[in-house]
Amino acid sequence: MALGDDGVVRTGTFWSTIPHAFTSMVGTGILALPWSISQLGWIVGPVAILAFPVITYYYAMLLCDCYRTPDPIKGRRNRTYVDAVRAFLGKRNVVICGVLQYAALWGTMIGYTITTAISIASVKRSICFHRHDARCDVQGNIYMMAFGAMEIVLSQFPNLEKVTILSVIATATSFIYSLVALGLSVAKLSTYHELRGSTLVANVGEDIASLTKVWHVFQALGNIAFAYTYSWLLLEIQDTLKSPPPENQVMKKVSLYTIAGTSIFYSSLGFIGYAAFGSHAPGNVLTGFGEPFWLVDIGHISVIIHLIGAYQVLSLALCVSI
């Protein structure tokens, strides 16, 4: 193995980086897209779903060239997002951008922990109901503690290059629960033989206050923007690539494939889920289905496995940044 110009051995390639990129971008936010579009309607919703990947791709292309300075191919490496901020914007902006990045990562990791506990509880409750047990109580705190214990064990991996297998598994399971949700939505849509929903923004119930509707619109836009979040880990992922070929060229190709692939899944589930549920789309589309319970449980189990791997990718990138 050849040492890099900074004395670090890097073995990453296009194929090993793709799973990291998909894992960092594709998350359980996809399951909230039908609800988000239901708050925006058939005009604004599709525009938002299609506009955000274009924006994401644009700044991803810019950020790929920030890995090295001053020359994007032969310059000094900026191994993290904060390093790039320091090199291009100066030390005064490091604190602001660093706090924002770390807060976003910490917040997402907390959300992953809660979502995992909810998914485990959903699976247990589903099995309990179909066994006709008298009590189907669940303890979310226990599940969060178990998730935390598992992440402590997995955190023994030293860097992103060593968790490629976790990213591959996480990417595969994200496709599984997305396809489960998409398939169930198609089945539900086929029973109505018509598209549900409205062309109006925030046309969700006449008894909802106008201020609440406005809040839901902004929340929906935030959900869609968050679903395409990618920049906070791009440079950390790019730092795993070996050179030659130039890291920025490989990462641009990775970004193109990742953003294009996720856009197809996001738009498909978002549009079909909204068409199936209309203005009553649930916040998590999987919770809108009760049967077949085994298929819904497969979706929840896939969410759990995906978040176990995604948590590690985020936490390792956070450790590198710190």
Structure-token pair, residue 218? 């902004």
Q: What is the mean pLDDT of residues 131-135?
A: 64
Q: What is the CA radius of gyration of the chain?
A: 21
pLDDT tens digits, residue range 299-316? 889 999 998 888 888 887
Higher-scoring residue by pLDDT: 235, 243:
235
Identify the band that residue 203 occupies on the pLDDT scale cut at 50, 70 and 90. Answer: low
Report the predicted TM-score, pTM, of the whole model to 2 decimal places: 0.84
Structure-token pair, residue 283? 């916040």
Share of the chain above pLDDT 70, in %: 90
Query: Rounded to the nearest 5°, which phi and psi values hold at 46?
Result: -60, -35
Residues in the chain: 322
Identify the band that residue 117 occupies on the pLDDT scale cut at 50, 70 and 90. Answer: confident
pLDDT tens digits, residue range 212-229? 788 888 989 988 988 888
Query: Residue 255: what pLDDT?
Result: 92
Q: What is the mean pLDDT of residues 1-13?
A: 65
Please list, in sequence order, all residues whose beta carbon lies within 8 angstroms of the beta carbon of residue 260, skipping any fewer than 6 positions away.
53
Query: Residue 205: what pLDDT?
Result: 57
Query: Residue 251: what pLDDT?
Result: 92
Lowest-confidence segment of 51-65, 80-94, 167-181, 252-266 by average pLDDT: 80-94
Percentages helix, strand, coil for the chain, rounded to the nearest 5? 75, 0, 25
Query: Residue 321: what pLDDT?
Result: 57
Q: What is the mean pLDDT of residues 277-304?
A: 85
Identify the band that residue 52 occupies on the pLDDT scale cut at 50, 70 and 90. Answer: very high
The mean predicted confidence, pLDDT, of the chain is 83
Share of the chain above pLDDT 90, in %: 10
Task: Using the CB atoms, write b or e for 187-217: b if 16+ within 10 Å.
Answer: ebbeeeeeebbbeebbbbeeeeeeeeeeebb
Query: Residue 69: what pLDDT?
Result: 83
Identify the band that residue 150 occupies on the pLDDT scale cut at 50, 70 and 90. Answer: confident
Q: What is the spatial distance between Cα 131 and Cα 111, in angstroms, rounded to a whole number?
A: 30
pLDDT tens digits, residue range 236-259? 888 888 878 888 899 999 999 999
Q: What is the mean pLDDT of residues 185-209?
A: 74
Query: Residue 4: what pLDDT?
Result: 57
Identify the band that residue 320 occupies on the pLDDT scale cut at 50, 70 and 90. Answer: low
